[in-house]
Amino acid sequence: MSLEYTGIPYFPLTSNFFEEDVPELLEAKFGIKASYLLIRLLSKIYKEGYYIT
């Protein structure tokens, strides 16, 4: 029995991810939870593919 996996097994997260423009702007506008939600969203996208149904 084989397992069908449609996503990417991992995605690179650089050590300066939180210092880039997008995470900093999101944190400034929405607070510290924005970075957490960004990582959760990226994980979901890479796990299930580039399109969420």
40's tokens = 């959760």
What pLDDT score does 41 carry? 87
What pLDDT score does 53 carry? 62
Q: Residue 11 domain-assigned?
A: no
Q: Residue 8 domain-assigned?
A: no
Q: Residue 2 domain-assigned?
A: no
pLDDT per 10-residue tile (average), the chain, 53 residues: 66 86 93 92 79 62
Q: Residue 37 domain-assigned?
A: yes
User: What is the DSSP code string of 1-21?
Assistant: ------S-S-----TTGGGSH
Q: Which residue range forms the structural domain that includes residue 21?
A: 17-48
pTM of the model: 0.68
Q: Is 49 within 8 Å of 6 (Cβ atoms)?
A: yes
Q: Residue 42 domain-assigned?
A: yes
Domain count, the chain: 1
Q: Residue 53 domain-assigned?
A: no
Q: Which residues contact 26 (CB under 8 A, 6 or more apart)?
A: 34, 35, 38
What pLDDT score does 13 carry? 84
Return the SS3 of 23.
helix
